[in-house]
Chains A and B, each alone.
Chain A
Amino acid sequence: MIDAQSHLTEEERQAVADRSLPAEHLPLIEAHLRDCAVCAGDVARIRTLMTHVTEAPTPTTITPSLDELWPAIRTRIETSKVVPLSPNAIRLDGRRRARRVGSSIALAAALVIAAVALGLRARAHGSTSTAQVADTASLIAVADSAHAYEEEAQTLLNQLELRRSMLRPEAVVAIDHDLRVVDSAIAELKEAIAHDPTNPALRRLLASSYRQKVDVLKRVGNAS
Chain B
Amino acid sequence: MRGACSSVTLAALCAASGVAAQGSAAGLPVLRARHATSAPQVKMFNPAGSIRVVGWDRDSVVVRGRVANGEAFYLVGNDTSMKLGIKEHGDDQPMARCDLLIYMPRRSEISLKTVTADIIASDVSGWFYSVSGSVRLSGSATTIDVQSMSGNVDLDVVTPWVRARTGDGSLLVRGSPQDVDASTIGGTLSIASPAIARGQFASVSGDVHYAGAPLTGAILDFSNHSGAIDLSLARSVSGVFSLSTILGAIENGFSEIRPISSTPRSIRLSLGRGGAQVSVRTFKGTIRLRPE
Contacts and interface: CB of A to CB of B under 8 A. Distances in A.
Q: Do chains A and B touch in the complex (CB under 8 A)?
A: yes
A204 B246 contact: no
A26 interface: no
Interface string B184-210: 011000000000000010101100000
Given A177-B167, A192-B283, A219-B149, A76 B129 contact: no
A80 B181 contact: yes
A5 to B, nearest CB: 50
A82 to B, nearest CB: 13
Contacts of A170: 115-116, 131-132, 149-150
B152 interface: no
B204 A181 contact: yes
A178 B225 CA distance: 14
Contacts of B147: 219, 222
A168 interface: yes
A188 B285 CA distance: 13
B267 to A, nearest CB: 13
Nearest to B179: A76
A211 B163 CA distance: 14
B225 A205 contact: yes
Interface in B241-273: 244-246, 266
B183 A215 contact: yes
Interface residues of A, number: 31
A174 interface: yes
A202 to B, nearest CB: 6
A185 B168 contact: no
B185 A181 contact: yes
B143 interface: yes
A189 B181 CA distance: 22
Contacts of A185: 204-205, 225-226, 283
A175 B281 CA distance: 25
A168 B283 contact: no
A72 B204 contact: no
Contacts of B226: 185
A222 B204 contact: no
A75 to B, nearest CB: 9
A176 B175 CA distance: 33
Interface in A165-224: 168, 170-171, 174-175, 177-178, 181-182, 185, 188-189, 192, 199, 201-202, 204-205, 208-209, 211-212, 215-216, 219, 222-223
A208 B202 contact: yes
A209 B149 contact: no
Interface string B64-105: 000000000000000000000000000000000000000000
Given A170-B132, A170-B149, A178-B167, 15 more contacts: A168-B115, A174-B168, A175-B149, A178-B185, A185-B225, A185-B226, A188-B284, A189-B225, A192-B246, A199-B246, A204-B223, A205-B246, A208-B223, A215-B183, A216-B167
Of all A-B residue pairs in the complex, the 7 with the closest CB atoms, nearest first, are: A174-B149, A185-B225, A174-B150, A178-B185, A208-B223, A178-B167, A171-B131
Interface of A: 72, 76, 79-80, 168, 170-171, 174-175, 177-178, 181-182, 185, 188-189, 192, 199, 201-202, 204-205, 208-209, 211-212, 215-216, 219, 222-223
Interface of B: 113, 115-116, 129, 131-132, 143, 147, 149-150, 161, 163, 165, 167-168, 179, 181, 183, 185-186, 200, 202, 204-205, 223, 225-226, 244-246, 266, 281-284
